[in-house]
Structures are given as structure tokens and as C-alpha cells.
Structure 1
Amino acid sequence: MLWDLASGEQKPPSQLELKLHGEAIRSSNSKRILVPGPLIIGAGPSGLAIAACLKEKGVPSLILEKENCIASSWRMRTYERLKLHLPKHFCELPLMPFPPDFPVYPTKQQFISYLDSYIKHFSISPLFRMEVRKAEYDSNIDFWRINAGDDWEFISRWLVVATGENAEAMVPKITGMAEFKGRLLHTSCYKKGDDFRRERVLVVGCGNSGMEVCLDLCNNHAEASMVVRDKLHILPREVLGVSTFGLSVWLLRWLPVRVADCLLLLCARLILGDTEKHGLKRPKIGPLELKNSTGKTPVLDIGALSKIKSGHIKVVPGINRFMDKGVEFVDGRQEEFDTIILATGYRSNVTSWLKEEEFFCKKNGFPRTPFPNGWRGKNGLYATGFTRRGLLGASIDAHRIAEDIACQWNSKTKHLPMEL
């Protein structure tokens, strides 16, 4: 919601273009908007969660989203066969559960429909096509100035960064990449396996996305090879009908991390067998300890491992260089491919537009303080969706941020500076 400075009433964002002149904007600049409540950057699940929690506490907020829809990453950068990796009760947003008829692991389409219902239920109306170019704290007025879209400037007492861990695709620089004459794409552009039927496809990366893309390719009669350069943990998605994630949460309530890791690896060995003989070596440090220290998520197997064991998915070493028809691996072997898919992940882009050096780390774009204390900075700056704990972590952050802002909220003063 925006604030009509003449009447003191809130106006829906759909009226924004009707309020560009005269009494609605207290500035000679017709594109300067005063936001009485928090300004949230990003209309993904994290941004929607904080908006709902704020509304539940009576605090108005405004979301800026660079794309033309909510949850743009889910809608535009994910493949069709995607399902939530964790059971739905670990992935629901605050104050609204999933529909009871949804399966344990909802599909991409079901999750998007849930988010659509979520914004309707809480009457959340983001401003779309508002890509933030710069956000900087103005100590003269103790407010944040945010430049977005076509030369708009938003002024707000509180700034919530909800662009998350996966703001932009990571594309590695590999020698000779420009020489490859086949199809080269990132998983953010991959949709479905039958687009690659009968092709020789190399997937670069062996995380959850790389494994799932390989499985999808294999199920659609493509010849899939997967680059495994580093050691990784593969765990079964469920143990005796219980989700491995849920089991991990339960174990950590009672046991030290290393003991819990030992039990998880024992279960993995019994269910999946020895993965190392298939070229999938495990790190020395356990999966939970590795996640806590580096943020690297273990792979939850949904069928790719059996295809690796049967030889339908071939494990190959790292790439030394690209060639016009394929690649040369680090062991000197050369192989031709029709398509190469980069399952090389995503990264935060916060430091490219947020002019602040104390809260967010310049190197990786994450809060310097790790979970559970990385949600609040100085001068009304907050972060949600950077916990490396998925939707559950984002929900935890949303509750904390809303509670903190609500304690500062005073509807009588409207929180607006007298001089801009």
C-alpha cells in the first residue's frame, strides 16, 4: 500500500500512476514515493512471507519486484518435473498451510498455485517491473532511498532484502566455452527432457538440480553424462517412510551434529549402498556438519542413483576445456556432445545494488552473521531468505523481522521525514 499524504489514507498500488502529481507526493519530484511501512525487495516466497507477517501485525508494507509476476524464479527458471525436495509441512509459508489434498511433495505447479492463493488471502499487491538499481541509507533523514524501475525513488524507514540466495544464475568460465558449436544452456533455461530426445547431453554439476535434470533426460531417452568434480553426500529422500530432512531435525534435538551425521550416513549406506564405487565419493565431514559450515546441501536421491548404477547416467570427471563438438576432461579424454547443460547453481546479487558494507558480505552477498542471527542489520535493514535452510528458514526470519518492526511501528506519526 502507498500513502496519500493529503488524506492520510492508504491507496492500493494499482492507483500508483494516478497519484504521481499533486497532493499524493510530498516532493517536487513526481517519481518520489514515500512508503510509511517497510519496503520489501523481492516478491518470491521470502518477500511474500514477510509481507503477510507484517500485515498480521497491522504494519503496511510495499514489495518491489523486478519481474512481472510473483515467484518469478519458480515460474520462469525451473524445469517442469520439479517437486519440493522436502515434505510440504516444512515448506509452507507463515500463517497459511498447504491445502490438505496436496501430496507430501507438491509439484512446481501446485506450489505456484499455493503462492497465488497466499497473496490473494493476505491481499498482497507488489509493484512489478521495479528492478532495484540502488539502495542507500541517508543518514541526514534516517531513511533508506531506493532507486528502482524507470527513475523511481522510494523512501522508507525500513528496508527488507528478500531477493534470496538464487537471484542470478552462476555461469563458470571454462576455457574454450565460446568454441562449442552445440547447444549450451544453464538449468535456469531447462524445461523438460523430451526437448533433448536421442541427444548426447553433458550436465555440468551434481547437486540436486544436476541429478534431477540427468534423471529427466534419461527418462526421455537422452544419453546423459554428469560431471562430478567434487565430493558430495547423497542421502535417500526417505528412511522407512520418514523424510530424511524430518529425521535430521529430530536427531539434532537430541544428539550432537556428528552423531546425527553418523546415523544418517549409516542409513544411507544401508539404503543406497556404497556410492564411491560409482564415482560419487563422500566428503570426510558429515552432511549436516557440511551444511552448517559451508551451506552445501546434500543430494536427496529420487531415482538418479539407480540410473547411475545401471550405467544409463554416466559419471565423468571435471572439464579441462571446451571444443567445437564437445569437451576435453581433466583426465585427457575427449568426448562429443550435442548439448551441454550447466547445473552450476545460483548466487546472491545484493551487493551489486545495496550500498552497505557491514551487514552483507561483499564476496558472496550473504549476511555476515550466520543463521539464526543473520536477519537484522543496522538502520532498519533486514534480510530474509539467506539462511541456507530453504523455505523453513525464510519463514523463521519472517516472523522475527515482523515482530521487530511491529515493536517500532507507530501509526500516529506515519514515520515520514519532514524534509526530503
Structure 2
Amino acid sequence: MAAAYALSKAGLGVLLLEKEHQVGEPWRRRHDDLHLNSHRIFSSLPGVNYSEGTPAFPHKSAVVDHLNLFVRHHALAIEYDIHAGEVSFAGGHWVIQTNAGTRTARHVVIATGRDRVPYIPQWNGMENFSGEIIHSAAFGDAKTYSQRKVLVVGAGNSGFDVLNHLAKVDTAHVWLSARNGPTLLPKRMFRVAVHLLSPLIARLPTKAADAAMAATQRLAFGDLTKIGLPPAAAGGVSRLISQNTAIATDDGAVEAMKAGKVIVLPEVREFTPRGVILANGNLIGPDIVVAATGYRTGLEPMVGKLGVLDGKGVPLFNGGDHDPTLPGLWFTGMAKCPRLLCQRQDAGHPAGDDGPSSRRHRQGGRTSAQGDVRNGGRSSRRVEKGVQRLRTEEREGVALTVTAFLA
């Protein structure tokens, strides 16, 4: 939506196609305890602010209200319940197959986000497991896990989001299966929201930013390897830039680990009908497995035949960049490095998105609601390169209809 706003402000015709029946639907479906893990001052869309009295980390209802306010304030043209299919180029324009018929446009901006489709690895034997396996996106109300044995797979942002909620529930057992340790920061230190330090971190060289985060983590929690967490594979900012690995936020999970309520275990090797076998050969018997194992873009059915995706389905170009052999095809919100810290590399490129989750939520934020919720005004500024190119084409007489897909 931020991209649509920027293009509209530049005087271009914009139509947004939305698969849901209303704005913010992915946020509405999430559990009632969902809050952004990004501070409200970094989470607003351009031209509108959160209402007075909104907490530092807004509740999901405040995010939905903010999205709707943005649409009304800027009078964005949105068609709902439109499911986009294959996008192809024919006759000098782009052809978009949808459930409501074929659409054509001279320019297509795909803004469905990097974290559109929940991803669960295909572990051996999982089809025979007698318990339940869900993705963290379907975590739901934490109270429903009372007296249950829960295995959380993945010690990243989504994994800690789940653990933060489970730490407040009287579960039977909670295990965390971790291959790599996270870069983990507290939501607050000395009553100050740690996310407010992001602009300072963004100005540091990558190695210095890694060191600053590591020092903050150790000051807040001590040596996490003493409670079983493996060390992180690389520095927090390094992984954010190179792998799009979000920085995890603690809001009670570490205290639960230190108290023995959450037990850290090795990574999952395989499933059996009775339970889960770990890399060390031990067998555990969870009632439910929560796979906090990331997301995929899900763009293959839409643009997979165009040769514009890497091996993980992420577009090879983003923002103001484009493929000159595919004029008029644009992506936004697909950069490897999301949010504020990416300004270190190139403030002219848009940041990545996350699906709704309490960190940002995203994603909540990551966690759409799949669009540029947390990028706010930064996202609109980062499409400036693309806007300038579209303006140039407009002066050359090209009819401009920009279609954006918001999953």
C-alpha cells in the first residue's frame, strides 16, 4: 500500500488487487494477544499516525485500524477478493490471470511480501506422527496449549514469539529444537524500548553493528549457551543482510528457559508415530509440534516462468531495479534485508516484508498486513527510483496502469 501511495502521489494511475475481502484480514485472524514487536514510531504508513494513546508496541487491532485509516486517507483504489494467477507479457503489455477474469496493464508491481506462504520442512516420518504439526503462523490462542506437551522447532524470531506466549501458560512440557542460536534482544532494557536504538545501529558498519547487538544480548541475558542454546551462526546484522534472518525479541522466553520451563534440545532428525527423534537419537513425545521454520514468497505460480526468481522463490531484483528485458515488471518489499537496518546499504531500495507476527507484529510484523506495515514512510521513499522511471515513461507517452498485488 505504501508503494501504491507513492505512485499515486507521483500522478500515476494505480489499482490494487487484494485477495482478501477487506484490509488487514491476516491481522484479524491472528490470536488476540498479538502485538507489534516494532515500535509504533517506526511502524506507521506515510501520511497517517497511530492514534493518541496507542502503546509503544501496538495491539493487532490498532494495526488494522491504522491500515484502514491509510486506505481512507489516501483514497486508494482496491479491488477485493481477487486472486492473481500467472503474469505474462504479450502484445506490449502485461496480462494477469485472476479469478475475476484477465487484467492487462503496462506496469505490474508485485507487493505480496517475502513471507507470504508458511514453510514446514518435510521431515521423514511426519505423515505417520500421531500428534499435531502446525506452522507458527497458525499458533492461535496460547491458552489452548494449557497442559499440553509442545515442541517448538526453530529458535528464530517466530520461534521466540511462540515461546514468549507459551511462557505465560501452564503447559505440561515445552521443548525448543534449535539448530542455530538466535541474535536475541529484549523488548525493553531499563524500561526503554530497545527498538528505538535501531537508527543508531543502522549507522554503524556491519561488524560494529554485529558487535553492538552481541554485547546487548549478553548484557541482557548473560551467556545463553549455558541454558543450551547453540551459538548464532553469524552476527545479527550480517544474517539480516545476507539471509533475511530477523532478529528475535524476548518477552519472557529466556526467563522460562532459565527456570527450566522451556528445555532446549538438538534439531529434529525424524518423526515416528509415537514422537520425534532428535539429532542426538533421543525420543520425545509432544502432543503438538509448532514449526517456526519460516516462509516462502509463493511467487512461482505467478512469475515462475519468467526467470526472475532465485532458488528460494525470491525475486532477483526489487524496488527501483528491474530487468530491461521485462519492461514494466516491478517488485517491492522483496529485499533480502528488511526494515530500518537496510538503510545502511541503499536507502533507495525498499525493505522486505514479514507476515503478521508479534515481532512486528512483522509481521507481524516480519508477521502483510503482508505489505509494508512496518516500513511505513521508508517504503514509499524507497520506491522513488521506480517512480522516477515510470514518470520518464509517462513523458514518453506510455499509458500507465499500475497493478499491485497485496496478499
Residues 1:214 and 2:159 aligned together: no
* Secondary structure, counterpart of 1:79 in structure 2: coil
Pairing 1:228–2:181 present: no
* Counterpart mapping for 1:22-171 below 5 A: 48-76=1-29, 78-138=30-90, 141-150=91-100, 152-171=101-120
Superposed CA RMSD:
2.4
Return the offset for 1:92.
1.2
Letter in structure 1 aligned against 2:263: K
1:325 matched residue in structure 2: 274
> TM-score, normalised on structure 1?
0.79
Distance 2:214 2:70 in 1: 37
Q: Counterparts of 2:398 and 2:237 in 1: how far apart (Å)?
A: 47
Superposed CA offset, 1:160-193 (max 9, x none): 0001111111011001111112222212222111
What's the counterpart of residue 332 of structure 2?
384
Larger gyration radius, structure 1 or structure 2: 1
Gap runs ≥5 in structure 1: 1-47
RCO higher in structure (CA 8 A, sep ≥6): 2
Contact 2:206–2:237, Cα closer than 8 Å, also in 1: yes
Residue type matched to 1:133 in 2?
G
Q: Is the CA contact 1:225–1:314 (under 8 Å) kept in the aligned structure 2?
A: yes
Taking structure 2 as the reference length, what is the TM-score of the superposition? 0.81
Tell me the residue number matched to 1:17: none
Partner of 1:397: 382
Q: 1:118 to 1:155 in 2, by over 3 A?
A: same
- Decide whether aligned partners of structure 1 residues 66 and 251 sit closer, same or farther in structure 2, where only a CA change above 3 A counts: closer
Q: Secondary structure at the match of 2:64?
A: helix
Length, aligned pairs only:
361
**C-alpha distance in 2 between matches for 1:256 and 1:355:** 36
Question: Mean Cα displacement is larger for which, 164-173 or 264-273?
Answer: 264-273
> Is the CA contact 1:80–1:192 (under 8 Å) kept in the aligned structure 2?
yes
Equivalent residue letter for 2:176: M
Q: Tell me which residue corresponds to 2:228.
A: 279
Instruction: Please give the alpha-carbon distance, in whole angstroms, between the structure 1 residues aligned to 2:239 and 2:229.
Output: 16
- Given that residues 321 and 386 in structure 2 are in contact (C-alpha distance below 8 angstroms), is that contact kept between their aligned partners in structure 1? yes
Are the aligned partners of 1:225 and 1:313 in contact in 2 as well (CA < 8 Å)? Answer: yes
Aligned counterpart for 1:361 among listed residues 306, 309, 324: 309
Q: Which amino acid aligns with 1:101?
A: G
Shift of residue 268, structure 1, vs aligned partner: 1.8
Letter in 1 for 2:393: Q
> Secondary structure of the equivalent of 1:409?
helix
1:68–1:351 Cα change, 3 Å: same
How far residue 240 of structure 1 moved from its aligned partner, in angstroms, is 4.4
SS of aligned partner of 1:293:
helix
Shift of 1:284: 5.5
Counterparts of 2:281 and 2:389, CA distance in 1: 57
Q: Percent identity?
A: 25
CA–CA separation in structure 1 for the residues paired with 2:12 and 2:55:
34
Deviations 1:290-309 (A, max 9, x none): 21122111212122111111
Structure 2 partner of 1:4: none
Checking the alignment, whether the CA contact within 8 Å between 1:347 and 1:364 is kept in structure 2 is: yes
Measure how far apart 1:328 and its partner are: 1.4
Q: Look up the SS of the partner of 2:167 in the other structure.
A: helix
Contact 1:224 1:313 in 2 (8 A): yes
Picking from 256, 273, 277, the partner of 1:307 is 256
- Tell me, yes or no, if the aligned pair for 1:261 and 1:287 is still in contact at 8 Å: yes
8 Å Cα contact 1:198-1:221 kept in structure 2: yes
